[in-house]
Amino acid sequence: MAGKGGKGVLGRHAFKVLCPDGLVSSVIGPGGRKKDELQAETGCKMVLSNREEFYPGTRLRVLIIYGDNMQGMVACLERMVQNVGECALEEQRRPGFNMQESDYFGKEAGEFMLRAAIPTKASGAIIGPRGVNIQAIRDEFNARVFIEKTVEEGHQVLKLVAALDNMRHAIIRINEGVQEDSHTDAFREWAAVRTFSSDTAGAAWNLQEGKGEKGGGKAKGGGKRERSRSRGRGEANSGQRAMEVLADATHDFPDGVLEEMFTLTCDLPRGKVTALIGPKGEHVRHVRKLTNTNIRFDEAAGQDTQTMWIKGKMLDCYRAHSLMMRRYHEDDRDKDAVDQQKTAHVQGLQAQLAEIQKQLAMVGTGKGGLKGVGKKGF
C-alpha cells in the first residue's frame, strides 16, 4: 500500500542502498529479526530486491528504505553505515583478504565505502553549481563522493568513501539531495523501481567487461538492434511494475500470511506446455530457481489442456506465473515470425517459378532464351 506521500510506493521518501551479500545478511539478521526491529524503531519500510536480481553491471542487490519522515530515514541510513563497518571487519578476518578487492574498504587506511543508486536529477543537487556542494562534503567531512555517468532507468551509482564517523554525516547530506524532489510524480516513479530488466543488466555487464564498442561509431544494423532492445526493456518494465503493484497491495496482509505456502493453478492448451518447459526443461528449471517455487504440469480433465501447478510463497508464485506467461506469449510471437518467414519464402519461390515459366514460353516461341544458359546447355 502506498505511504502518505506516495503513489505505488511505501512512503513519501526513498533511498536506495546497493548491497553486497554480506551487507544484506547484516541488515536482515537471523529470521529477518534485525530488519523488523529497525522498521519498528524508525517507522520506515525496507524492501530488498530478490536473490539474483542485481543492479545492472554488478552483483549488488537493491535495498530501498521508504519513510514518511526524514528522522526515520536518517536513523536507517546511520544503521547502514554501522553495518558497513561490521561487514568490513568481518571481511578483513577472512583468509586471503585483499584490500583492493574489498566490498567495504576504501583505498586508504581507515576508509570505508558505501554505494547507493540515486535519481539522475539528484546528482545535480548533490554536486551543486560548479561542484560547490560535493566540495563542501569533502571539506567538512573529509569524504569523497563519486557519481558514475552511466544511467540505468533513471538511476546513477554513487560511491561514498570516508571514515565511519564522517560517513554518517556525509550520507545525511547526500540524502537531503536525493529527497529534494520527493514531492514529485517523477520521484515516486523512481522510488517504485526495485528490479531492473535483464537486457539492461546484461548490456551494462558487457560494457564493464570490455565487450561494448567504444567511441561514437555505429555498428552495421546497430540502430535496429537498439530499437529492439528498447522494446524488450519496455515489456520487461511493464511486468516489473505489475509485480511491484502486487507487492504494495499485499503490504497490509496479516503477519505471516505471505510466508505461508500457496498454490496457484492454471489450465493451458496442451500444445503450449512444451514451450513453457523449454528444451531439456531449461526454462521451467530457470523459473523454479529464480522464484524459489515448485512448478509441475498435470493432465487436466479436458483432452486439449494440461494444468500448471505452482507452489511457494504467494508473491513468488505470482512472479513465477508472470514469467511462465511471458514465455507463453513469446512462443506465439516466435511462431508468427516463423509463419511470416515461410510465407515470404513460398512467395519468393512462386515468383521464381513464374519467371522460369515465362522464359520457357519465350524459348518455345523462339523469342528468347533462359537467362544465364547458353546454347551448349540444351
Residue 6 lies in a domain: no
**pLDDT tens for residues 115-138?**
999 999 999 999 999 899 999 999
DSSP state of 349: H
- Please indicate whether residue 347 or residue 201 has the higher confidence score (pLDDT): 347
C-alpha 68/C-alpha 10 separation (Å) is 8
Report if residue 329 sits inside a domain. yes
- pLDDT of 231 above 60: no
Please check whether residues 45 and 125 belong to one and the same domain. Answer: yes
pLDDT at position 232, please? 44
Q: Are residues 179 and 265 in the same domain?
A: no
The string of pLDDT tens digits covering residues 239-294 is 555 555 566 666 566 767 777 888 988 888 888 888 888 888 888 888 988 888 99
Q: How many domains does the chain have?
A: 2
Whether 156 contacts 193, CB under 8 Å: no
Q: Do 192 and 308 lie in a common domain?
A: no
- Which domain covers residue 275, as residue numbers? 257-337
Is residue 113, in this structure, part of any structural domain at all?
yes
Residue pair 265/259 in contact by the 8 Å Cβ criterion: no
Q: Mean pLDDT, the chain, as a whole number?
A: 78
Written as nine digits, the cell of 257 is 500470511
Q: How many CB atoms lie within 10 A of CB 267?
A: 12
Per-residue pLDDT band for 205 (boundaries 50, 70, 90) equals very low
Dihedral pair phi/psi, residue 225, rounded to 5°: -65, -40
Residue 20 sits in the same domain as residue 167: yes
Residue 222 in any domain: the answer is no
Please check whether residue 74 lies inside any domain of the structure: yes
**What is the domain-level CATH number for residue 279?**
3.30.1370.10
Q: How far is CA 78 from CA 42, 81, 175, in A?
A: 11, 5, 11
Q: In which element (H, E) is residue 18 found?
A: strand 13-19
Asked if residue 35 belongs to a domain, the reply is yes
Query: What cell numbers appear for 180 in the block?
Result: 529534494
CA-nearest of 10, 127, 149 to 73 is 10
For residues 294-311, one letter each, b for 16 or more C-beta atoms within 10 angstroms of the residue's C-beta and e for the rest, the string is: ebebeebeeeebbbbebb
pLDDT band at 346 (very low <50, low <70, confident <90, very high): low
What per-residue confidence (pLDDT) applies to 245?
Answer: 58
CATH number (domain holding residue 126): 3.30.310.210
Q: Do the beta carbons of residue 118 and residue 181 sit within 8 Å?
A: no
Residues 46 and 156 in one domain: yes
Assess whether pLDDT exceeds 70 at residue 353: yes
- 303 and 154 in a single domain? The answer is no
Which pLDDT score is estimated for 74?
A: 96
- Predicted structure pTM score: 0.54
Give CA–CA dist 129/111, Å, rounded.
27
The distance from CA 231 to its chain's CA centroid, rounded to whole angstroms, is: 15
Same domain, 49 and 190: yes
Query: Residue 358 domain-assigned?
Result: no
* pLDDT for position 8: 45
Q: Are 20 and 129 within one domain? A: yes
User: What SS3 class is residue 4?
Assistant: coil
**Is the Cβ–Cβ distance between 293 and 311 less than 8 Å?**
yes
- Asked if residue 34 belongs to a domain, the reply is yes
Closest C-alpha to 238, from 335, 129, 325: 325
Q: Rounded CA gap, 178 and 173, in Å?
A: 9
Q: Which of 34-43, 69-78, 257-266, 369-378 has the lowest mean pLDDT?
A: 369-378
Are 195 and 275 in a shared domain?
no
